[in-house]
Structure 1
Amino acid sequence: MTKVRLGYVAMSMELKNSSPSQTMTYTQFQTIPNREAAIRKLERIALSNLENCFRLLKHNLAHDIRFFRLSSKLIPLATHDDLSDWNYIKPLLSILNEIGTFIIEKKMRIDFHPDHYVLLNSPKSDILKNSLQTLQYHADILKSLHIDLQHRCVLHVGGSYKNKESALDRFIRNWGHIEEDIRKMIMLENDDKSFHLQDTLYLCEKLAIPFVFDYHHHLANNENEDWEKEWERVVNTWSHSPLPVKMHISSPKSEKQFRHHSDYIDIDMLMKFLNTIVGSVDTIDCMIEAKQKDHALFRLMEQLEERSEVEIIDGASFHIK
């Protein structure tokens, strides 16, 4: 028997006017003649994002959802070079502390998935510098929430740069120069175009990084690897983590747009995966990456109630027998 906990990404389709990703571009920032007034406006936007984030977490708890990906856009322009003197945490510390206390008391698992421009294997020093700056921003938020940094940021391996072997080696070289706090945060995910299961496993095993297996990505990008034979290796990458194994589940939009995410989850696709791994772990956290966000989770739970091999625990978790 394996316990499965479902989560979803950043935004709710049910909770209205709750975006945690409201933003301001640097061009807009520059149109405000008084720099201090512009920064105060940034802080108001960030406060609104965090208040909405708190609303989302409360909404999730009401539906038994204790696994959630926070938006990386909570504090706009936080990593912009021209705002390096802005202490963006200080004016938001009260709401951050409140959110963090709620997460810890309610035993929620939260994490981030920084944007695709975070490339730890980039050959360009400026891109690597900006990537580390972005990861430091995520670390600052986690620290202000009083959440342990360990395994809270999912990344892709990065770019292949027309030579995948060199790109993998460069990831390893760059890893050695990254501060411990940042390395501690990282989980790696196989992607749908470049770095498949074996590539990602190679790095995860060599560098002691947990592997977040994306089943949809594997179906889109593989070299006839039998993921079932490698599952034990995936699980073992989590042996040093305080958190349960995590995976991503999404479904193809169509045969023609196979890599694109569908609005909802194909339950047969999910159950094929879960019935294969049942008993291999006590608990697995499945992050739903679907356009319909929490609606996709609610619909999936309704469908799961009809499956004989499923034992429902609550509104967002179940056992596979």
Structure 2
Amino acid sequence: MDSQLGLVCITHSEEVRYRTITRTRLLQLEPEQQRPRLESLYRENLARLNTAIDYCEREQISLYRMPSSLFPFFDEEVGRSAMTSLADEVAQTGARALARNTRLVMHPDQFVVLNSDSQKVVDNSIKILQMHADIMDLLQQPRSPWALLEIHGGKSGRSRELVQAIARLPEAIRCRLGLENDEYAYGASDIHAICMESGVPMIFDAHHHVVHEGLSSYEDPSIGEMLGKARETWARPEHQLVHISNGRTAFADRSHADLIEVMPSAFGSVPWIEIEAKHKEVAIRRLRES
């Protein structure tokens, strides 16, 4: 394939793995122990990110999705404090990725619901997105969809609220934001309409589309049609990014299979594809061999 295939977070092997800490465990520590503990964890995960960048270069993988938990609790004061001594090293890591033309993206977790009917949830969603944007800034990544922050549409039936919420986002978030279609709340056509109105790019997920529409083949004409419509939302079409996965037990199974056995033929023209398969780098190698 001519497309650039992306590695998602960790490898199937133990080569690229990260550490984390739960809130319960962090709060068990004395207040004066929390910052050093997070600083140590951040330093270790930064080393693992450097390992991931090296791995991608060695395997000729040009896109890497960093884990959303790269720096746990960085959205809180203790995490911000712990990061202070590491800022220069984080910037150097980001510079290495840029120098090697390794595209870094992130996919904040499911707690991001910008169009929730709860203001508390909306406020927390913005806080999470700001943390991800701050990480991208620390890594000196462009304020553009090259350094994509990928989220879903959120609460169903509230597309107007989502457009309004996106318009109010701080620039460091909004300029990197992309919306992905999902299986239930917002299908590809729904997300495309929101992206066109809000001015953010659409990440077309072919498998989510299959499940949402009840399709039986990746060769359904709607795959190519939605891919083309999604491309319209990218200011730079050469940066368009899509997702692919296969169903584990059946074609339209929501659960991801270990490998990618079936790829939409329409994806042959896509510049960037994130491979959402359980066996990660093995799936990428198999695709390259096919």
TM-score by length of 2: 0.91
| TM-superposition CA deviations, 1:287-316 (whole Å, max 9, x none) | 00011111111122122xxxxxxxxxxxxx
- Alpha carbons 1:89, 1:141 under 8 Å: kept: no
Mark the runs of 5 or more structure 1 residues left unpaired by the alignment. Answer: 304-321
Tell me what 2:243 maps to.
248
Contact 1:15–1:59 under 8 Å retained in 2: no
Q: How much does 1:242 deviate?
A: 7.6
Aligned residues with identical type, % of pairs: 25
Q: CA deviation at 1:13?
A: 2.1
The letter of the residue matching 2:7 is Y
Is 1:196 matched with 2:196? Answer: no
How high is the TM-score relative to the length of structure 1? 0.82
1:71 aligns with 2:67: yes
Separation in 2, partners of 1:197, 1:52: 35
Does structure 2 conserve the Cα–Cα contact (< 8 Å) formed by 1:200 and 1:211?
yes
2:271 equivalent to 1:284 = yes
1:295 pairs, out of 282, 285, 290, with 282
- Other-structure match for 2:81: 87
**Paired residue secondary structure (2:104):** strand
Aligned position for 1:150: 144
Aligned pairs for 1:1-321 (under 5 A) are: 3-16=2-15, 18-20=16-18, 22-33=19-30, 35-80=31-76, 83=77, 86-151=80-145, 152-160=148-156, 164=157, 167-222=158-213, 226-238=222-234, 240-241=235-236, 244-255=239-250, 258-266=253-261, 269-274=262-267, 278=269, 284-303=271-290
**Pair 78,260 (structure 1): closer, same or farther in 2 beyond 3 Å:** same
Query: 1:121 aligns to what SS in structure 2?
Result: coil
TM-fit CA distance, 1:261: 0.5
* Larger fraction in helix: 2
Which residue of structure 2 aligns with residue 307 of structure 1?
A: none
Residue in 2 that maps onto 1:306: none
Cα distance in structure 1, aligned partners of 2:123 and 2:237: 29
**Distance in structure 1 (CA, Å) of the matches to 2:128 and 2:28:** 25
Contact 1:190–1:217 under 8 Å retained in 2 = yes
CA distance in 1, matches of 2:211, 2:223: 13
* CA distance in structure 2 between the partners assigned to 1:71 and 1:247 by the alignment: 18
Deviations 1:74-125 (A, max 9, x none): 1112224xx3684343122132122111111101111000001111111111
CA–CA separation in structure 2 for the residues paired with 1:218 and 1:135? 25
Query: What is residue 218 of structure 2 aligned with on the other side?
Result: none
State how far apart, in whole Å, the 2-side matches of 1:142 and 1:149 are: 8
RCO higher in 1 or 2 (8 Å CA, sep ≥ 6)? 1
SS in 1 for 2:17: coil
Deviation at 1:192, TM superposition (A): 1.4
2-side partners of 1:171 and 1:271: how far apart?
A: 30
How far residue 154 of structure 1 moved from its aligned partner, in angstroms, is 0.6
- Unpaired segments ≥5 residues, structure 2: 216-220
SS in 2 for 1:7: strand
- Could you list the per-position Cα deviations for residues 218-275 of structure 1 after superposition, in whole angstroms to 9, with x for gaps in the alignment? 000027782333433211111x238511100110001287011001111xx2153335
Shift of 1:149: 2.5
* Structure 1 residue matching 2:81: 3-state secondary structure: coil
Report the Cα distance in structure 1 between the residues aligned to 2:65 and 2:121, rounded to whole angstroms: 25
RMSD (CA atoms): 2.1
Matches of 1:108 and 1:101 in 2, distance apart?
10
